Structure 1
């Protein structure tokens, strides 16, 4: 290592030396050079001035654009032209930092009140802007407030880097730009990071400070409760904000604005409309995908970025069924940039020195600067008016003595003599005499005399007002306050960021991420609606009906379990229970008004209809099926776990399933009701369980023209009813009311399997078939196609008696919970009607 270094010096050399070598200490040279570099970065690049809130490059951009005439009422020009003008005249650095500073001042997501009106691609929180040769710019209306009255000696100017131009040391800044727009910068050994605020709030605090110079921080925070970020969002916890306002340093947490919505008919989702400051949607999307792929985040089914320039930010996070959206949101806040920390470090230049400032100090610096600007502007305007008044008074003298003035001018050898003689004869100053000589004769008329008198009076009045203003500190402060109020009225916008005093403790410790696997009940209505209850408790009273609708099938399950939808073709289609909409607690009668059509969960073939539901547990009771051709089958519950749909019976050609039930006991009866009014009941123990491919066995013997219209299972120990409705087989479904009969189930004797059964209703004239039938625990309920209730006849004792006329056509019949309802044998369950169960 060398302790010494050598360098050439620019000191003039003596005549007897060709060059001089100076030995210097390396450590001293490094210390001096580093200090010079640090000084340059701190004062000329990274830190803003506390008065106008601008770094040198930002100030130079605004001043240069103002000098170029790029006002809001003029057209845009290429950004490269602005950058070149700034770099060539004012900023001795590269074009990249100049363009970066210009771009930031044009971005509405970076600045609370943008100062540049950009045209073209100026970037997004995720993307870089287009090159300067593609974009255009001009000053925004708010920027005109920054340079307003700069030509009235309101601020000091200094030479530029080469001494050929001048530049302002600070801008007049008609609004508190540093607090409104914030700033960020990294210097040597220090940094600044200031949050944006709401213009209306900051102006209100500044006006209060103007009126009450000794106002406390608590008083000012009544006007400025916290930052107001350009991208909105939510600030959680204000303790850090108060620390920053008190001492100049503090931190707070920013959260995205999220709502929980029904994003699809079957799923809820998190809709993000606002993100934390300086966070873009692509960054959030990328992080979420990484977490999902690494299995560190569960419960997200899909993620879509629907952001556009018209609707703004819209990030849709679809939540899997079975997961609690609020708990997933807490995980997103914890693991992704949807929650970020902002560290406030209010470092700015005050009188050329870097200082850490609290809210009160920042406002004081700006208010004092603005008072000084208005004072200097008023003094400049008074001086200009005094100078004009002096000229007007001289011109008035010339008009009053116009003939003598003309004679003096005509008799003078040159302008110098004319000026001297005018000064001597009419006691004018040199300035007045020169102005009279320069004034065209056409202005020296009687009308101009009147105008000059009026102008003189106006000037005297204005000079007096400006003198009174400059001599009164209270009037000066009042004028500054009024101008700030006008700015807030013209450019103020509502607050975007929500402030929350709460610390925002995550709820994941108290709320599970997934929905617990609690017992529940799955319901299928006659109008084709599918839903689940919150638990598997008993449903009392009108539990068998749902908004005048009857239940076709009821199955016990668990929230995270699966049930099977059985179709008329003998297929079972798996459906996750957690995907089903939830009904209110079973303590009150259920309403399927929130149910979803079963067609949203299963895909059916042509002519295929839904018959009922069944549990898919391996140790369950198994299903019992009945077909239109009289076949009965008990299915062994060996359902395949890796298939979404499978067959549970092999049907003969032209046959179809008309009824399905869960058989909970072999002591129950299996019941067939046929179209020719025959009812057969026999014990379930007489039917042996069979595997899924089996075709079943004979259940009831049918006449050649008869078919089975209802099949189910009943507990013979419970009081039950048999409801049959007779009519014409040739009538269209739903067009005839028919004659209904209600009989006691005990009136029907049990017979053996594969026999013909007994008569359930005697046909009257015009009747030749049963159009609907049902058997189950009392009481029985009937509904129309739209789900409206129909009063059924009272029970009669004779099982083979005739029926009574119905007021309306019945399309479904149901009873107490646990029984199945009857639907017309010739048609599927009708679609849900809006005026019924939907």
Structure 2
């Protein structure tokens, strides 16, 4: 990697806006080492910037290794195991040949020392013989002619073996005889005796010769053991590799990671909250949540998307870019999409058709979407259909995405999926119908079923009515049923943890009702009144649980969106009509409401007199937000 080229490449990528989020690039290299500083802009993800640098610069390079080697004289492509096996075979051959060579040299040296030891044991006779000889050749011949007393050699050879120091090329007849009483010198030994210096005959030097001879005998025994045992040979190989590691090894400077070489698209995308919208005709897109500003209720709002006259926003949720979205179709199938895989578009854009993103069949449409962060085996997906059927399936059964989709619920003909939510297995479930009724029951009343099961009845519906919302309350607290008659629209602020059920009608009216006002019943009933569906209100089109500190989005069938605070919506009892949430145009209807978790600053928008009249409980027809007779 060239540092100058790297810095130049990074600067080029920033200039071309192929990498965003870098505020400054500095070269702080000095004599102590290489140092390049990259400062990230405020609010940007450092990890995403690093992943982009890995993917687009020389900070990380991917290269292939063609492991071709000559094995047995033939070129072969080897894997890791085969390479290790070939290396071990090579080391066995090397150590064996080296051991044979060392054994040969040790025997040659031992043979010489053996002769010198015999000469020292017979030193007086050897000196006398050499003095009496007229020349060195005659002295050598006389040394070879005689048999000598072995002296200390006998005891040493008894322990090491009579032939342990005998060279392979030495002829028979030399060395210690079979009886072990006489020793015949070889020519090499006789020559070494003649070349022996007198100072080697001192007591200290004699001890050194004997010690060297003993050391040679031990070395010969060790080398012979290596050649005789395959296990000992492998042990020597391990010891030598350990020595190399200890002598030359150092702390690893690079880091081995599982898969920075295989960066996914997700690693290159910053994690942020996105608004995911899907229209009734199947157009999908994502927008940053920060694009929407909070407004006072009753405001005109901003257009969320550009819609055809016959198209409306049907699904809207807020999810992280790294989350997975489960998309459930009208045919009971489920598909998977990452949020970052969905097209990002501007506020005025329609988005991209889902048929271009998913393998949808003819006349198949997405009826419900659900964001999932991980697949907890102890969690469930709770389904509700327009005809009041409910089903509970383990979330783990959806953890293996398939490109062609999977069956999520078996739907009756004419039925459609209206809601899907993740539950813990011990939650409560609420179903709200278009005629303003609501039923609340324990989730355990619906047994866990497989993906292909049809489900059981959750709510009994009157003619023409259908389920419009599924709610999984985040609180299990239940007040007495007679609390339905209590006045709940007090201006007194409640605790921040109070849960409300926000209901909205097609004509833009809505209200907040305390969760405790909805009694716990068994599944399969008609439920209790959740909102009056009068001529002013129209049918109930949306319902969700909220907190006072939340914000919400309102979507109309013309594509208009309003983001407002929940605490600006009046608190009313179940059996009431509510107040205006959004001012609708001619032939415009409210079709969707969505809860936002993190409220932003509210724009200081003035409330017009008409809205003030509605807030005070007066409608254009003169109808107030009054308490109606109990439905029980």
* TM-score normalised according to structure 1 size: 0.32
* TM-score normalised according to structure 2 size: 0.42
